[in-house]
Amino acid sequence: MILELKQVKTHIGQFRILQDITFAVPEGKVTVILGRNGAGKTTTLRSIMGLTPPTEGEILLDGKRIEGLPPHVIARKGVGFVPEDQAVFSALTVNENLRLAMRGRDQSAEERLTFVLDVFPDLKEKLSRKGGGLSGGQKQMLAIGRALVRDNRVLLVDEPSKGLAPIMVEKLARALRVIKDQTTVVLVEQNFALASAVGERYVIIDDGHTVREGILCELEQDRELLRRYLGISPANGERGRAG
Amino acid sequence: MGMGTFVNLTVNGLSTGMMIFLLASGLSLIFGLMGVLNFAHGSLFMLGGYTGVVVFAHSGSFILALVSAMLVGLLVGWVVERLTVRRVYGNAIAQILVTTGVMIVLNELVKAVFGPDIIATPVPPLLAGSWAIGSVILIKYRLFTLAVGLVVAVAVHLLLTKTRLGMVVRAGVENPEMVQALGINIRQVFSLVFAFGAALAALGGVMMAPAVGAVNPDMGLQNQMLAFIVVVIGGMGSFLGSALGSILVGLAGAYTAWFLPEASLAVNVLLMAVVLLLRPNGLFGMGGE
Ligand SMILES: Nc1ncnc2c1ncn2[C@@H]1O[C@H](COP(=O)(O)OP(=O)(O)O)[C@@H](O)[C@H]1O
Ligand SMILES: [Mg+2]
């Protein structure tokens, strides 16, 4: 297991947001975090990243505890983060956004940059454009690309398809399939079609608890579970389609 | 008002603007990057002025006075960030209290050592006097401050736009959390920018002293007021904004001083109100409009 959360509890101010988050992420796979709005998916990723540090529990990366470390140290240990709102630096050019994330200018970093521009050719044409001038889909690509130029062990991606046009969601699905060969991915995704197109394992979070964990293709059959925790019935109409 | 007076006032205004700019640019960067409204910033300006007085009195070298003031600013700024401001990031009320406390301590320290009265600061001999071109009289010292201010402005602009550190600062002004998530120790950058801003303020102070003829313990507070106006006009966190805002405030101050000296501050507040009505985030401010 590359990443493990054990009974993680997180408070924001005096609010108890996460009560008991426990799951494991196997190396080289895409683990999808599912759950309705407000369930605590974003807070889970932010807790791993150290942005909202857990108040109790353990988070292990490669078997070593990382909870309580400052975010930049967690990032340097190989955790990449693509936040829900993308957080592309709008005053920086696309090139600067990518370079900011690269630490040294070593060979492998340059190779990863080339890889990113191959996966997202749209970015290659916009290198000198300001981040703020990109479309929603391009911002999402830049946010993912920016995380990918780093030498990550695990990549945390929060709802990348949110607000994207169907054609962009398809591009995203294709990109995620290429990316998953390079790094372990933890993907928060409400679009079940996209989730099942790229994911292998799932974790369901509800009201700050992990309620179920397993293999995605088995979940697809479990209509009752899907209805109960995600409010969808895949038989009669999915919420979105992904190539 | 004749041509000569007009040029003279304009040079004076630009020169004062430059010194305000040295104070305001740090204030703006510190606020933009760390969200800290630094009420102690003016004290660094004042400390720069007094450092200049002491060093110039002992060495007779104005260059040495400028450099020493900056070093003192850098050091005091670094210590203040480490010991006080660092502990209250994210807590606006605590920041106001803590930085105001630092301001009071520094001001009282200076009063204790140098006394509460003004100390006259003549223009260094090399920079004294003026050139007359027809009816236009150019005061050498004013031109000197203008030149130094311009050089510093260009240098900081290049630092912000052409270096990796500048890139980190610009990104941090927008989203410090995301900068951290990319493996960058933003706290280190905070300390650096705080100390650097303090050094710029101290440079402003040491240059202001001969321009107005004296230092006094309250000079920081007086100019900090103008710097806050500049930051609001230019837009929080915008370097170009503080440059433009400083020029506007400097010129407005100089022209008003000629016609109606008492109205100087009022005109600047008016200027701020007009800018805010037209552009609520300031001239170069980012964010929700
Ligand atoms: N900064 C915050 N302050 C207070 N409550 C918050 C904050 N951030 C999130 N929450 C609450 O925590 C719960 C989980 O939020 P979040 O992790 O964003 O959910 P999800 O990503 O699953 O939609 C929600 O009820 C939300 O209202
Ligand atoms: Mg969320």
Q: Could you report the per-residue pLDDT of A208-228, keeping only the tens digit for each?
A: 999 999 999 888 888 888 888
Q: Which ligand is nearest to the CA of A83?
A: 2
Radius of gyration of chain A (CA): 17
Which three-class secondary structure state does DSSP give residue B36? coil
Q: Average pLDDT for residues B252-276, to the nearest whole number?
A: 87
Quote the mean pLDDT of chain A.
90
Residue from the list B167, B173, B184 with its beta carbon closest to the beta carbon of A96: B167
pLDDT at B279 (0 to 100): 86
Residue at B141 is within a domain: yes
Residue at B8 is within a domain: no
pLDDT at A232 (0 to 100): 64
- A131 exposure class (CB count in 10 Å sphere: 0-12, 13-18, 19+): buried
Where is A178: in which H helix or E strand?
Answer: helix A166-179
Ligand 1 proximity of A38 Cβ (cutoff 6 Å): yes
Structure letter (DSSP) for residue B123: P
Residue-number span of the structural domain to which B71 is assigned: 22-217
| Structural domains counted in chain B | 1
Cα A178 to Cα B200: distance, rounded to the nearest angstrom: 49
Which residues of chain B neighbour A72 with C-beta distances below 8 Å?
A: 180-186
Atom of ligand 1 nearest to the CA of A205: 22
Residue from the list B171, B177, B187 with its beta carbon closest to the beta carbon of A92: B171
pLDDT at A240 (0 to 100): 45
Fold adopted by A3-230: Rossmann fold (3.40.50)
- What would the pLDDT profile of A82-113 be if each residue is shown by its tens digit? 999 989 999 999 999 999 999 777 788 888 99
Instruction: Say whether pLDDT at A135 is over 70.
Output: yes
Residue from the list A51, A87, A103 with its beta carbon closest to the beta carbon of B183: A103
Q: Average pLDDT for residues A37-58, to the nearest whole number?
A: 96
- What would the pLDDT profile of B15-37 be if each residue is shown by its tens digit? 999 999 999 999 998 998 888 88
Q: Average pLDDT for residues A57-73, to the nearest whole number?
A: 96
Cα B97 to Cα B144: distance, rounded to the nearest angstrom: 37
Lowest pLDDT segment from A105-114, B74-83, B147-156: A105-114
The rounded percent of chain A whose pLDDT value lies above 90 is 70
Interior angle at CA B68, CA B70 and CA B195, nearest 5 = 30
Cα A211 to Cα A47, A145, A225, distances in angstroms: 18, 32, 10
- What would the pLDDT profile of B153-166 be if each residue is shown by its tens digit? 999 999 999 999 99
- The amino acid sitting at B3 is M
Record: contact B167-A71, CB cut-off 8 A: no
Record: contact B174-A90, CB cut-off 8 A: yes
ipTM for the whole predicted complex goes beyond 0.95: no
- A104 exposure class (CB count in 10 Å sphere: 0-12, 13-18, 19+): exposed
pLDDT at B158 (0 to 100): 94
Mutant choice from A100, A150, A153, A155 vs B, greatest count of B C-beta within 10 A: A100
- The amino acid sitting at B276 is L
Please state the φ and ψ torsions of residue B251, each to the nearest 5 degrees: -65, -45
Ligand 1 proximity of A42 Cβ (cutoff 6 Å): yes
- What would the pLDDT profile of A143-193 be if each residue is shown by its tens digit? 999 999 998 999 999 999 998 889 889 989 989 998 998 899 999 998 888
Please report where in the chains the tokens 């990366």 appear, as a residue: A61
Confidence of residue A200 (pLDDT cuts 50, 70, 90): very high
The rounded percent of chain B whose pLDDT value lies above 90 is 75
Cα A193 to Cα B54: distance, rounded to the nearest angstrom: 73
Contact A70, A77 (CB under 8 A): no
pLDDT at A242 (0 to 100): 45
Please state the φ and ψ torsions of residue A22, each to the nearest 5 degrees: -135, 115
Ligand 1 proximity of A39 Cβ (cutoff 6 Å): yes
pLDDT at B288 (0 to 100): 36
Instruction: Say whether pLDDT at A36 is over 60.
Output: yes
Cα A212 to Cα B156: distance, rounded to the nearest angstrom: 54
Ligand 1 proximity of A1 Cβ (cutoff 6 Å): no
- Of all protein residues, the one whose alpha carbon is nearest to atom 13 of ligand 1 is A38
Confidence of residue A243 (pLDDT cuts 50, 70, 90): very low
- B222 exposure class (CB count in 10 Å sphere: 0-12, 13-18, 19+): middle
Contact B264, B15 (CB under 8 A): no
Structure letter (DSSP) for residue A231: -
Q: A46: CA distance to ligand 2 center in Å?
A: 10
Residue at B128 is within a domain: yes
Residue at B59 is within a domain: yes
Lowest pLDDT segment from A60-64, A69-73, A156-160, A221-225: A221-225
Which residues of chain B neighbour A101 with C-beta distances below 8 Å?
A: 182-183
